Amino acid sequence: MTRKEFDLFCKDAEKDLICYYEASGDYVLVNNASLSITGYEPAELIGKNHYDFFHPEDRKYIQNAARYLSLQGKTNNLKPLRYRKKDGTYVWLSWDTIPVKDENETVTNLLSISRNVVSKTEIWDEKLRKETVYDEVGRMAGIGYWELDLKTMAPTWSKGTYDLHELDYIYRPDLTTAINFFAKDARITVLKAINEAIYEGVPFDMTQPLITAKGRKKWVRIIGKPVVENGKTVQLFGLFQDVNKSTEELNELKGTVKLLSSQNNQLEEFNNMLSHNVRSPIASLSMLLSLYEVAETEEEKQELFEALKMASQSMNELLDELMDSVKAVSNREVESENNDLVTIINQATELLKGEIIQSRAVINLELGWEKIYYPKMYLESIMLNLMSNALKYRSDERDPVITITTKIEDGCKVMVFSDNGSGIDMERYGDKVFKLYRVFHRSKPGKGLGLFMIKGHIESMGGEIVINSELDKGTMFDIVFDKHKKMGAPL
């Protein structure tokens, strides 16, 4: 713009301050109204930077927000802002800014038209004071206002809403970016509520997780109020409220209730383990005593006495571990540890020594792996119950043979436990094998807890158990300990 073009433009605007400046903000041309409005002669402003004259509280806003819009090629109209006069006082001026582009559509200069609203200073001061009070009250309550322009779909936020999002006040969100501040799983819910408010006039009030500009997650309550006229939504506004503390406290309370429920379930499980897992070792001890009473030689008695001592010691160890497990219910999870499978098998063998001797059982081990990271009490319970069942439901036609095989399949630890016992009629009982209180051999004592507990132990740790059985031939269990990788330790 030349001087002549500028003077022509200013011809009928004697009461308006008109400034032509570079995109950087440096004044190039200023009309004569600058003297009466600001106290500066036009020549005193040339070369000075436009943004240096604004009140510090307004400077950041006009330099970043208004300048940002102008450099995007958008004409903008700003509310009255404070401009520093030559005497150091401030005058309230309204601003219309027009971007000037070159032949490449690049904004090179800006033309601003400012009007003196000094007569309205008191009104604006009062308005500013009220806005400040409202903003401060909103901040104290963690509340922010929002409104959605239904023509442009552009949101308007109060300072409280900016604070809640941890954003600078110069940021101008569009609807998409505003929605994207919500956690990923919440975005569809929020967008659906906004659409229903716009197109169906349905208000909403919900609490959703939000991720702030600084990456912090917080819970916010978002309220939406549509204004409907003649069946059409003409305005949509609402509130944000920071409810992070109360929501976290509620979630913590829910977590406590869940923990107590889990602990109650664990106590019930441990009660079943105590009653069931101790039963077979006690029966084995009774059997060893019976064998000791009918032993004919001192050598037999000494051998059985040593077996009784070992069984008694294993029994004490089992009871101690079960008691420790009950004490551990206060923990959130059953603790896993590194176990030696051979040690676990030997303990079960000692506990069931009486039945093993009396039935002349043979136990074969074919171990591809021996170490496993697992809750010890679960592993002991699984082995004791499988071995106890194999001995209890042995065939009357042959001595029991138990085979324990371990291997790695598809990166998972697998154990195959098989016996040559009386087996189960799978056509009749196949879908009931692991159910609670199911008994499949009426001639043998049992309460139907063992297989139910085994399945519970394995599945609670992300594993899987499958049974294959045939009447009068035997039973095989395939156990995948870490099928769903819940083990927490490498193979």
Query: Would you list the domain boundaries of the chain?
Result: 3-116, 125-242, 251-480
Quickly tell me which residue has 């077996």 as its tokens: 307
Q: Look at residue 100 and tell me whether its pLDDT is greater than 80.
A: yes
* Rounded Cα distance, 349 and 355, in Å: 9
264 vs 437 pLDDT, higher one:
264
The pLDDT value recorded for residue 137 is 47
339 pLDDT more than 50:
yes
Nearest residue to 407 (alpha-carbon basis) of 440, 464, 365: 365
Over 60: is that where the pLDDT of 109 sits? yes
Q: How many of the other CB atoms lie within 10 Å of CB of 329?
A: 17
Q: What is the pLDDT of residue 327?
A: 47
Q: What's the CATH fold of domain 251-480?
A: Heat Shock Protein 90 (3.30.565)
How much is the average pLDDT of 19-48? 91
**3-116: CATH class:** alpha beta
Q: Residue 430 and residue 423: Cα distance in Å, rounded?
A: 12
What is 125-242's CATH number?
A: 3.30.450.20
Instruction: Confirm whether 3-116 and 251-480 share one CATH topology.
Output: no
- Read off the pLDDT of residues 384-403 as tens digits, 9 standing for 90 and up: 889 988 998 899 899 999 99
Report which of 84, 85, 68, 66 is spatially closest to residue 76, judged by C-alpha positions. Answer: 66
Flag whether pLDDT at 247 surpasses 80: no
Start-to-end CA distance of the chain, whole Å, equals 77
* pLDDT > 70? residue 474: yes
What pTM, to 2 d.p., does this model score?
A: 0.39
Q: What is the pLDDT of residue 328?
A: 43
Strands 16-22 and 27-30, sheet pairing: antiparallel
Distances (CA, A) of 350 to 51, 300, 457: 89, 17, 22
Answer yes or no: is pLDDT of 491 > 60.
no
User: For residue 332, what pLDDT is reported?
Assistant: 44
Asked whether the predicted pLDDT for residue 310 surpasses 80, the reply is no
